[in-house]
Each structure stands twice: as structure tokens, then as C-alpha cells.
Structure 1
């Protein structure tokens, strides 16, 4: 079971990195970043269950990563909405339009 979880985590991480590198749309890049966060959470929980002391360190780290991902999603989506509202585009190469 542990090996299958690691394979799934590796797959999620690779798909997330590929999506982050190749995407030009800001919302797609944020979704790829969420895939990377989910792969990290899966690995935290898998390695926490692998240890014999049965403490909840991996689950606690996963909760902190989920909270950071929620803050990142809220901030990123607010920037994307601001770009969409002002310039009718959410392309990453036009991100310098927010500079003063």
C-alpha cells in the first residue's frame, strides 16, 4: 500500500510540475500548484503512517500545508480576477501590467 501511495504522489507531483511549467493561464498554473501541494500532503501522511511511534506529525504538517494552499489560492484568484477585470486576460506573460 505504501508503494502505491508513493507512485500516486510522484504522478501528482510530475503532472503538477508539467502543468506549472507549460501553462500560460494563471488559473491553470494555480491548479497545478494545488496538485503539487496535494502530492506533498500525500507524502506527509504516508510517511507519518509508516513510522512506528504513531504520532500525528505528518497529519499536522498536512493541515498546515492545506492552510497555506488556501491562502495562496485566495490571493492568486484575487490577482487573477483583478487582471481579468482590468485587461480581460489572465495570461501570465501579461502579469507585469500590475506594476506601478
Structure 2
């Protein structure tokens, strides 16, 4: 990876990460479907993970890659809990549209 980092350059990884993060932000802001919002959050987390791995490789320190491992574990747990909540909401109201969730106030 270090040799690839020398050929491509750290700037390319930064640009790709910024583009992925912006795609995730726009997905959260402009889409009202809960599944698309979860996917957008995952794209944002993966862009941060990409930067952590790139800078970890650049500085030849494995701590960034270890942090990515824990971040991926937390993201997997977040997806499992989030999808379970979405299934429960779908069973109750028949839709996972975020605008329809306003009706769940008790």
C-alpha cells in the first residue's frame, strides 16, 4: 500500500474521501427514505475510514487501521439495530418514509 500511496499520492485519497462524504451528506439531506439515509451514513463512515487508512499508511503507523476496525464493528452494530427498528416501524405503519414517522408521536 505504501508503494501505491507514493504513485497515486495522498491528495487523491483526500479528494475521494471528500467526494464520498459529500455524497453521503447530500443523501441524508435530500432523500426521505430511511434505508437510503442509512446507506448515506455508511458512505460517510467509509470516507472517514478511507482517510484513516491512508494517513495511517502515510505515517507508517497501524493505530489508524486498528481504529478503522473498531469503527467498522460499531457501524455493523448500528446497521443491525437500525434495520431492526425499521422493520418494526414498517410493521406498524406500512411505510419507512421519514415524513410518515411524525405520526408516531404518543
- Stretches of structure 2 lacking an aligned partner (at least 5 in a row): 1-7
Equivalent of 2:37 in 29, 48, 57: 29
Q: Flag as ranges the 4+ runs of structure 1 deviating above 3 A.
A: 96-100
**How far apart are the structure 1 equivalents of 2:76 and 2:97?**
22
Q: What RMSD over aligned residues (CA atoms) do the two structures have, in Å?
A: 1.3
Q: Runs of 5+ in structure 1 lacking a partner?
A: none
Q: 2:73 aligns with which of 38, 45, 67?
A: 67
TM-score normalised over the length of structure 1: 0.90
Give, in whole Å, the separation in 1 of the partners of 2:93 and 2:18.
37
Could you say what secondary structure the match of 1:17 adopts?
Answer: helix
Shift of residue 94, structure 1, vs aligned partner: 2.7
- Aligned residue among 3, 21, 26 for 2:11: 3
- Pairs aligned (count): 98
